Amino acid sequence: MDERTTRLREIVGRAAELAGAQRDAYLASACGADAELAGEARELLAAALVDDAFLRPLAPRAAASGASEPRAGSVIGAFTLVRAIGSGGMGQVWEAEQHAPRRRVALKLVHADCATSAALARFEREAGLLARLRHPGIAQVIASGVDDAGGGAPGARGARRPWYALELIEQATPLAQAARALPLRRRIELLADVCDAIHHAHLRGVVHRDLKSANVLVDAAGRARVIDFGIARELDAGAGLTHSGELLGTLGSMSPEQLSGDPALVDARTDVWALGVLGYELACGSPPFPAQGRALPALARAIEQDAPRPPSELAPEVERDLELVLLHALEKDPARRYASADALRADLSNWLAGRPIVARPATTLYQLRMFARRHRAASAALAAIVVVSLAAAAISTRFGFQARAAERQSARRFDDVRALARSVLFELHDSIERVPGATEARQKLAAKGLEYLDLLERDAADDALLLCEIGEGRLRLAE
């Protein structure tokens, strides 16, 4: 291995345990003026957000600093290492044999050179959080401690390496892999079981924050078991060891509020989102926001802004109600998701039992609001058009009201004239016809009546009844 690759390993391994401004400052210091090295380091760190396996070959090995590597037969605490069964950027997982009582366990170790104060604190917290969880769907902690990583080797620094032992899940298979051979209903039953386990953690104040297929194993008996609470957060612990601007987790499973980098926004509904991602994968065979072929910023933008494709488009066997349940868990706004993992489990159970579900499609108003959030510039222009259109409509409506009001007023006046003409020509004229000396008054009424008839005739148009009344009036005046 050349010197540059070794240096890149060290830089990336150490930077992975820092956050936000601290990470940026460390990279600037470690890479100096070597812009190419800094670019490579940042790309590898970013890739680790999508899949932490990216950091596995780059994690600095303990041997590089003189600390001894664990190997089969090494004794750590009351356990003898048997074989390595997993590795990550921070450490390894070994199958080990406990001395008393005699049993096989899984032993998780931190790489000695990754044992920064922040990493150690996080590791110890994981052991503490797991110790308070007692659920058949969560791997149980058996013991924990700290080992001397130097192991007495010449030149060893005597680094301290924390560990904890938990129950070994026999013939463990990642959930997505195990689900491939299962019918849809059985896959959803497993998801409901995971929801129940996560709800148990939430009731004890623990949010997982990194739920994904690799962290849910299916054992030999077909039971789902949740593991790796390494970046879990206590609900009542405030920011704790997590700093504002720090992104922890796997990008493909991160919720929009996790991407904001504000730890205050993370709560139980963050795990509900991850359960929705997991359920979507189980139902469709692919994630709701595929990482393949996308730059990391584009993937993050899709998670924050884009609606996932309806699961039924990818897997026709997914019924409408199940689709609504999964999409409800994937609402961008935490307030619109299921309030708890148990609420999601209950709706999955409703679907499994053929009962009505609680989830309902998003309203048109909400969809318009989300469109506006995704397309702010276009929405601003559209809003301006809408405002102008509404203003024009308001003005037009006002003039329309005024025109109709004038028309109604004109009609009322026309009716008044018509009624007055009838009164003059028929009722009033008849009432004074036999009054002595009323000839002059009758003549004046006849003249006024003719004026009214002339007015009515101009506006009579095709009103046959009115024309008949006018004709009758003229005949009356002729008498």
Question: Measured between alpha carbons, how far is 130 from 123 in angstroms, rounded to an integer?
Answer: 11
CB 282, CB 188: distance < 8 Å = yes
Q: Which residue has the tokens 């007015």?
A: 455
Tell me how far apart the 2 most distant CA atoms of the chain are, in Å. Answer: 148
114: tokens are 């990754």
DSSP letters spanning 151-214: TT-TT----EEEEEEEE--TT-EEHHHHHTTS-HHHHHHHHHHHHHHHHHHHHTTEE-S---GG
C-alpha distance from residue 105 to each of 100, 165, 229, 339, 456 (Å): 12, 6, 17, 35, 107
User: What does DSSP assign to residue 76?
Assistant: E
Residue 210 annotated among the catalytic residues of the structure: yes
Chain centroid to CA 305: 9
Residue 141 parent element (H or E): strand 141-148
Exactly one of 52, 147, 193, 210 is catalytic; name it: 210
What is the torsion angle, in degrees rounded to the nearest 10, for the CA atoms of residue 170, residue 176, residue 177 and residue 180?
120
Q: What are the catalytic residues?
A: 210
